[in-house]
Amino acid sequence: MEKNLYYILISSLFLYMITKHFLHKFRKFPPRPFFSLPIIGHLYLLNKPLHRTLAKISNRYGPVVFLELGSRPVLLVSSPAAAEDCFTTNDLTFANRPKLLAGKHLGYNYTTLAWAPYGPHWRNLRRIASLEILSANRIQKFTGIRRDEIISLVSNLFAGSQKDDRFVVADMKSCFFKMTLNTIMMMIIGRRCYGEDTEEPVAGKLREMVEETFRLSGGMSNIGDFLPMVKWVGLNSMEKKMEELNLKKDSTMQEMIEGHRRMRKSDSACYEEGKTIVDVLLSLQQMEPEYYTDEIIRGLILVMISTGTDTSAGTLEWALSLLLNHPDSLKTAINEIDNKVGSSRLMNDSDLSNLPYLHGVINETFRMCPVAPLIPPHESTKECIVGGFRVPAGTMLLVNLWAIQNDPKLWKEAERFKPERWIEIEGQRDGFKFMPFGSGRRACPGEGLAMRMIGLSLGMLLQCFEWERIGVEKVDMNEGFGLTMPKARPLVAKYRPRPHMVDLLSRT
């Protein structure tokens, strides 16, 4: 009897999967892996690093794949043509974000620019970001801040170098994070977090907050987003960590706002309107206090700190790692800077347009090691067609940017680091093969700022110092886990001042 019951259960399960599979094909939905288990669906297929696992699934089933991840339908896209369908023809359809727990607990209940659903509120936040915070005029006003912080990094490295021409070891992950956080904080509130006369405890809180935010938001690491029953039985420890982090970041952000408020009142005589981003937001609050609440301001500050620090610092770390593993490319980039900028002055923003090879290094880093290997998820609001297949309303969209940008069918010698390929490519994006800042309505608005920060930082470090790996072995290029794609092992490198730059660095 027990054996018969066992056979009946197995047969029923098999019949269920067969019927579901052929109904799926009959309705012209995208192809999908055959075995979709009850309750968990295709979750059993996922391993870390997620972007590589998803690339293997796409290699087997095609560039448009339908997955059932627990209770959530997911469209996996890994080709330029399908991505173009999503971000042009169906851009409005996919303009929403899925309701993930990170958006609830870390995105002020889906009200921040990153997590808000498409609509009047999101459009207003986007307008503020594009016109008030990250406009070309605002970025130009902050040129001095960016350059000062990069020079501060160069000066600190020079001060830590040996006087007898020996190489010195530096933790570059920490250097890049401190520099980018200082830059962003100077733009936001006019105060640095690291260096002399700074508040190191605040810096520690912010660094922990940024790293924890990306770790908890990472990829699809929160099982509660796909299996709601996990929350019902009280097993979702990830959500509890999010709630704890939300309390910490809330109090840190509010302290910053209140401190700036007090400074504006006490120093009103010499207060300069619009000097910092918080100044701009507090001025908007005075005009429309009902809309520009402290929560809205905290959300905008949080997005700027999170997206402006970890992503830029991570790209710089990957770029220097790639150059250390490719000495010929490193030499070519340095020679270009020597020829175009020289050694009588430190390079500046205006030099970047004259350094195509350096620009190629940055683009090749974006291509091979995108800090966001999966474009942040979107969700369809109605049924649409992608790649000739029907996509139901309420489907979460995952575009595997890493898979597209490392596809050997799209890129000649895709596995090789070749900055020179970008000198040959006409235009920046080359279609939808290259989307380091996303595409469509919800593309990252910080591209202009990021390109200037990364370009000037990397360029000045190559101009001023000689760089070497700490040993004979190549730098470890394995990937860590998180919403961004950190290096599994932080970069540690050897450096020393270039002889003809010592005099200039001594006077900087």
**Residue 369 annotated as binding?**
no
Cβ atoms of 215 and 185 closer than 8 Å: no
Residue 459 corresponds to which amino acid? G
Residue 243 corresponds to which amino acid? E
CA 492 to chain centre: 22
Which strands make up the sheet holding 396-400, listed edge to edge? 64-69, 72-77, 396-400, 374-379
How far is it, in rounded angstroms, from Cα 508 to Cα 502? Answer: 10
How far is it, in rounded angstroms, from Cα 107 to Cα 253? Answer: 13
Residue 306 corresponds to which amino acid? S
- E strands present in 409-449: none
Cis peptide before 201 (omega within 30 of 0): no
Q: Which tokens is 281 given?
A: 């937001």
pLDDT of residue 26: 47
Q: What is the largest CA-CA distance in the chain?
A: 90
pLDDT of residue 287: 93
DSSP conformation letters of 12-24:
HHHHHHHHHHHHH
Q: Which tokens is 230 given?
A: 């996990």
Phi-psi region of 232 (alpha: psi -120 to 50; beta: other; left: phi over 0): alpha
Under-50 pLDDT residues of the chain: 24, 26, 269, 427
CA 465 to chain centre: 27
Cβ atoms of 402 and 53 closer than 8 Å: no
Cβ atoms of 309 and 321 closer than 8 Å: no
Which secondary-structure segment (H or E) carries 377? strand 374-379
For helices 143-159 and 447-464, what crossing angle results, to 10°? 30
User: What do you get for the CA distance between the two ends of the chain, in Å?
Assistant: 86
Q: Which tokens is 53 given?
A: 């696992």
pLDDT of residue 1: 52
Helices (H), 171-222: 172-189, 200-216
* The dihedral sign for the CA sequence 468, 470, 474, 476: negative
Residue 37 corresponds to which amino acid? L
How far is it, in rounded angstroms, from Cα 507 to Cα 502? Answer: 9
Q: Which tokens is 188 given?
A: 């936001």
For 249-292, the pLDDT digits (tens) are 888 889 889 888 888 777 664 556 568 999 999 999 999 999 99
Answering whether pTM is above 0.95, one says: no
For helices 237-266 and 277-287, what crossing angle results, to 10°? 80
